[in-house]
Amino acid sequence: MGTITKALEMLNFFSDSRPQIGLSDFVRLTGRDKATVHRHLVELEQNGFLEQHPGTRAYRLGPAILRLSAVREATYPVRSILRPVVTELAEEVGELVHASVLQGYRLSPVFHHDPMLHGTQVHFDQAEMLPLHATSSGLAVLAYAPEPFRRSILGGDLVAYTERTVTDPATLHVLLDEIHAGGVSRLSGAYDGEVTSQGVPVFGPGGSVTGALSAALPSVRATPGTLDRIAAALRAGAVRATRVLGGEMPARYPLPPQTTLEAREV
């Protein structure tokens, strides 16, 4: 891992539940020596990616993040474009829905919405990078990713997040082929032991997979009828999300009957 990567990787430790991180916490989280961590923190602060709280001296995300985020959204407005798709889909299915985009070998959350119709909700951390092998959105992406990319993921270190996480490459290959044929992935308790989720791929220009939509709900509410209804809505949502992002559905994706002709023409 290069010096720049080591420094930038530290930004991924921030989340809604961890908005400030002190030097000693960074040392513990990274597993690196204090001098190296401090040097990286100083460089990130000097370039505006971090700033120190004047009272606690803990670090928080800096103004450069805001500036670059604004530039990104102004020139390639993924979040604002997907927001109505995700919101309307969540309202339709009555559960939390989130959109994510492929970033290296993981998925980076873009936007999520929960209509809050139930007493029990799924906790979603918008700062958490999602593994491809252990989440429904990740499997949806892998099912439509190029074979070399799929092999690189399945040949790597597959972490077991729960006792139900599938980590056997051969089993995952079979599962991915099934998802490819049906267009929707479904996992129960694989990333969060009490959550069932379903995911669909989102495609870019030329039909290349670029991200995913996923709906998640507590497993106690995941009846077969509910899951089938959500799966149908997700497949239609995949078409809409792909369209608004300027992508195109590949011929190999099993579209819902009512959207087949319209989607193929876009």
pLDDT in single tens digits along all 266 residues of the chain: 578 888 999 999 998 889 999 999 999 999 999 999 999 999 999 999 999 998 899 999 999 999 999 999 899 889 999 999 999 999 999 999 999 999 999 999 999 999 999 999 999 988 889 999 999 999 999 999 999 999 999 999 999 999 999 999 999 999 999 999 999 999 999 999 999 999 999 999 999 999 999 999 999 999 999 999 999 999 999 999 999 999 999 988 887 665 443 444 44
Q: Give residue 266's pLDDT.
A: 41
Q: Which of 210, 241, 248 is nearest to 104 (CA)?
A: 210
Could you give the CA distance from residue 251 to residue 261 in angstroms, rounded to a whole number?
A: 11
Q: How many CB atoms lie within 10 A of CB 141?
A: 31
Q: Are the C-beta atoms of residues 79 and 70 closer than 8 Å to each other?
A: no
Could you give the CA distance from residue 209 to residue 155 in angstroms, rounded to a whole number?
A: 20
Those residues with Cβ within 8 angstroms of residue 238's Cβ, 6 or more apart along the chain or in another chain: 183, 200, 201, 202, 203, 213, 249, 253
**Sign, Cα dihedral of 203, 209, 213, 217:** positive
Q: Give residue 3's pLDDT.
A: 82
Q: Give residue 1's pLDDT.
A: 57
